[in-house]
Amino acid sequence: MNCIFVAKKPLFISSNAYLSQLKKRDKVKKAGFSGILDPFACGTLIIAYGRYTRLFTFLDKNPKVYQATLWLGLESDTLDIEGIKKIHNIKRFKEERLESLLQSFCGKVSFIPPKYSAKKINGKKAYEIARAGGNVVLKAQEMEVFKIEFLNYSHPFLSFKVWVSEGSYIRSLGELIARELDCFGSLSYLERLSEGGLVYQNEKKLNPLDILPFPIIKCQENLKEAVFNGKRISKEDLKIYKEGKYIVKFEEFFSIILYQEKNIEYLVNRISLC
């Protein structure tokens, strides 16, 4: 089965465990997801079956939109409610200060990923090292906050909605916000609302040609055999003159190609259209 859709991961289950449930339910062997969600988080998870798993790398996943609740005063190893160490009593803040502080995070933000994350250190996931009691040292990286919106403040819980770039960690953003308030802070709730404009719609099957961000070339039948077998074709065959990635489409299948430096390279070939 080849298909791609947006699922809604429940709370307190890993993305891998949830994918296993879907595979068993739909009786498929090959499946994958794009954009891992932490076990305590819920929300949109792009799922693909069969050869459509090869399309993940080509999807435009910006922006990622989240709704989060930051528990001010919560000290946690995992920066969420799964690794609670201590709850500190802190003073109440003025809403105006919190709204202004959130806006100050718009733009490029330097952060260190959580030690309990899937970031790799010498080929091993950071959370595996942390759980084994090892020393986790992760390099600072950058996320872009396109937009952030204050939703509610019911002390000590600060709720906000945020639009961020791929590779962002909302747990780390929450930690940075709390640090500016001179207190600990960890997420008590996190939901991904959308990813690259894709939202949950009761697992509606998506047409890959509608969600891939490349121009579509509808090819003549005389090129079908050559493309199907991955043979060499020219820019004149396809009538393209600008470098970039393209979808070469036939009635039964499509391929993704790259035209660069006068050469055409097959990036993904012979993906059937359901």
Considering the domain boundaries, does residue 196 fall inside one? no
Q: Is 201 helix (H, G, I), strand (E, B) or coil?
A: coil
| Rounded distance between C-alpha atoms, residue 269 and residue 196, angstroms | 24
Classify 260 as helix, strand or coil.
Answer: strand
**Measured distance CA(88)–CA(106) in Å, rounded:** 28
Q: What is the pLDDT of residue 41?
A: 97
* Residue bearing the bigger pLDDT, 233 or 10: 10
Q: Within a domain: residue 203? A: no
Q: CA–CA separation, 269 vs 16, rounded Å?
A: 27
What is the rounded average pLDDT of the residues 192-212? 96
Q: Is 38 a catalytic residue?
A: yes
More confidently predicted of 130 and 144 = 144
| Domain end marker among 24, 45, 62 | 62
Domain boundary among 23, 43, 62: 62
Reported as a pLDDT band with limits 50, 70 and 90, residue 273 is confident
74 in the same domain as 57: no
Asked whether residue 198 is assigned to any structural domain, the reply reads: no
If asked whether residues 90 and 58 sit together in one domain, one would say no
Looking up residue 102, the CATH number of its domain turns out to be 3.30.2350.10
Tell me, yes or no, whether 259 and 244 share the same domain. yes
Of 47-61, 93-107, 121-135, 140-154, the one with minimum mean pLDDT is 121-135
User: Of 26, 38, 60, 210, which one is the catalytic site residue?
Assistant: 38
Q: Do 41 and 19 share a structural domain?
A: yes
Which tokens go with 216?
């579509």
Write the pLDDT tens digit of every residue in 4-18: 999 999 999 999 999
pLDDT digits 0-9 by tens, 17-75: 999 999 999 999 999 999 899 999 999 999 999 999 999 999 999 999 999 999 999 99
> Closest Cα to residue 109, out of 61, 194, 172?
172
Q: How many domains does the chain have?
A: 3
Predicted structure pTM score? 0.92
